[in-house]
Amino acid sequence: MAKMTLLQAIKQALELEMEQDERVVILGEDIGENGGVFRVTDGLQKQFGKERVIDTPLAESAIIGTSVGMSLNGMRPIAEIQFLGFIYEAMDQLASQAARIRFKTAGGYSVPLVIRSPYGGGVRTPELHSDSLEALFSHTPGLKIVMPSNSYDAKGLLIAAIRDDDPVLFLEPMKLYRAEPQEIPEEAYEVEIGKAKLVKEGFHATIVSWGPPVVTLKKIVESYEQEGIHLELIDLRTVAPLDQETILQSVEKTERLLIVHEAVKTNGVGAEIAASVSEKGIFSLAAPILRVTGFDTPYPVGMVEDDWLPNESRIRKMIDELLSY
């Protein structure tokens, strides 16, 4: 076991998979000699060479298009998009090509591609650097979307994504890159894609979240526990496919559901979760399903982002409202 930040865990996952499989290559802007914008890939080009750690032009669509071609020719590419807000340029390659090829070819071909990208707020970045766009891509059948909240899950989920035969969008929370290190195994291991994690058992209400809000929620849940209120916390870890079974089982027990996410509220993943529980578990509910999310605006400037994000004050207010029913 070794203590690692989320960033170090991701780098180790890349290194381990490149060591054990020569088909694994990584490509993106400034990922080679410069080691990437956050230094996730620092040293990998020196270790594995320029043919496997490839610096690309500033062209997101070309990065993903090239990766799709590599995948169809037997490689297992890992593409880096420097910030998720830049991925719009590659939407066509992702949604029209990577995610559809298995369907188009009736299973004849697959695209074993991982797209890594930092996302999320709380670090005072300029425009297009903090967006949470998971809902856009969750409307794309054939694409898996993974969003870890800690080092252990990040390493295991990334290894599982690299070994997956279909495209995976792997979203890395910038705010947690260098957060408190966590002890994790040094060898390779997988965390199942599509399986949520029960972070804390409880029976007064269920809270479902993913990414950075999970860290905030852990502290909130502990403080409520000291008051005799036991909240069940679920870290979704994967937003596509959704682990509906774990959510429904929890709601059946607690009868109350709060969903917390950073992305804008309307037509988001939280709305899909609420709809699913309404369809399949409405008779378990003793209160309306509530959400704490970002607002329906572009991501704001740094001076107001703490108010825009689902902060502790907004979450506590909604928990109290949920428990009042």
Q: Which residues are catalytic?
A: 129
- Mapped to the 3 state alphabet, what secondary structure does 225-289 carry? HHCCCCEEEEECCEEECCCHHHHHHHHHHHCCEEEEEEEECCCCHHHHHHHHHHHHHHHHCCCCC
Single-letter amino acid code for the residue at 73: N
Both tokens of residue 242? 């959704």
- Euclidean distance between CA atoms 140 and 147, whole angstroms: 16
Of 154, 170, 237, nearest to 199 by C-alpha is: 237
CA distances from 273 to 218, 241, 323 (A): 20, 11, 19
Residues forming a β-bridge with 24: 76
Single-letter amino acid code for the residue at 7: L
- Euclidean distance between CA atoms 185 and 208, whole angstroms: 27
Of 271, 212, 208, 239, nearest to 134 by C-alpha is: 239
In this structure, the dihedral spanned by the alpha carbons of residues 64, 68, 73 and 78, taken in order and rounded to 10 degrees, is: 50
- Euclidean distance between CA atoms 190 and 48, whole angstroms: 23
Single-letter amino acid code for the residue at 234: I
- Euclidean distance between CA atoms 200 and 55, whole angstroms: 42
CA distances from 289 to 64, 200, 251, 263, 308 (A): 38, 19, 10, 17, 21
Report yes or no: 286 and 325 within 8 Å, Cβ to Cβ: yes
